[in-house]
Structure 1
Amino acid sequence: MAKYELNTKEQHFATTRLEAEAIVTEAKEDKHLIMHKIAEKHNKYGEYFLVDLTFSYNTPKEIMGVE
């Protein structure tokens, strides 16, 4: 039985919006990127940004068509 990676979610931490946007720009170079989101958060130490990236590599239909 082979294992195939279908979807991947990543979450990155950035201290500035510019840094967060750089992460998204780099991720956009990957053709499998389907969604990105930058969320501004605050805590007692200040503000930070969470960058969520979602990648989709294959669908079961595509995998079964190759086999």
Structure 2
Amino acid sequence: MTQLPHDWNISLFHYRNHGAAYGRVLVGMQVPNGDRTHVAEYLDAIGYRYWRESDNPAYRLFMA
């Protein structure tokens, strides 16, 4: 696996680096309802570190 499934959409992408050895990336994805349970499995399979922010109060305020 090296690609997102064709019906998943990256709807938000923000990269931030302040001169550190690493950068931070925020990605928002639109995934069909039936595939939502597979997102974590997919990201684990390709070895990406990620944090789900859906329960983050700031996210909830932003999306309200």
Q: Same fold per TM (> 0.5)?
A: no
Structure that is richer in helix per residue: 2
TM-score after normalising by structure 2: 0.35
TM-score (norm 1): 0.34
Using CA pairs under 8 Å that are at least 6 residues apart, name the structure with larger relative contact order, 1 or 2.
1
In our comparison, the structure showing a higher alpha carbon Rg is 1
